[in-house]
Amino acid sequence: MNNIRLNSMTYDTDISKLESMVLDLEEISIYLSGLRVVNEGILTNRQLAESGFHGDTESYFLNQGRKTGFMREFGIRNLEKMSDGDDFVIGCVAHSFENDRSVNDWMEQVFLKRFVDRIGELIGVNQKLLDVKEILSEHFFDHSLAVHLIEEGPEGEVSFTIIDFKIGTLLGVCFVGTKGRHSRMELCEQIGLALEQKMVTYLLG
């Protein structure tokens, strides 16, 4: 299957299809046991703005060509007993965009550049972004980007390894949150490739 044919299948992907593309608890438990679903649902541009950096707006994300998305997060039951190096959250998101060019622009300008430019600022309510490093990721079907973020909040320092990958007008995202300053690139890639495979399988019917 070539890129052009697969890309054409991603247009007009509605929210019910996005929900079916995101990994579920049984699929995630292959990679990390003891998790439960802690958050799932439609991710609108307004919700994305409310959980992002200060000044983010619904219209900003809409103007970037993003239509909607579906998110599912899996977390551990007892955050108080976390030790340095423990993974405490895994998440998967499937976003849809107006066109495939908007996906490329999002990955470079919204995902990567915005993090780099906002070091030292707050994310959401009480998490401060301390550092951002881009990580090489070459195992995906099309364009992909990966970053390792270090944040500081009420519970101390945590890390997030995040991968974005493109499938036509769709953007797949997976992330792993870890206590302390630890990259989880190998684990995140495994989850990302499983997410990509599920998205492509669903598109092919």
Give the three-class secondary structure for 83. coil
Region of residue 40 (left: phi > 0; alpha: psi -120 to 50; beta: else)? beta
**What confidence tens digit (pLDDT) does each residue in 9-30 have?**
888 787 889 999 999 999 999 9
**What confidence tens digit (pLDDT) does each residue in 41-57 have?**
999 999 999 888 888 89
pTM: 0.93
Domain residue spans of the chain: 3-204
Residue 141 main-chain phi, psi, to 5 deg: -60, -40
Name the band, by pLDDT with cuts 50, 70 and 90, for residue 77. low
- Residues 110 and 116: their CA atoms lie apart, in Å, by 10
In the block, residue with structure tokens 């019917």:
205
Check whether domain 3-204 has CATH 1.10.3720.10, yes or no: no
Residue 116 host element (H or E): helix 113-117
Give the three-class secondary structure for 135. strand
What's residue 38's pLDDT? 95
**What confidence tens digit (pLDDT) does each residue in 97-118 have?**
999 999 999 999 888 888 899 8
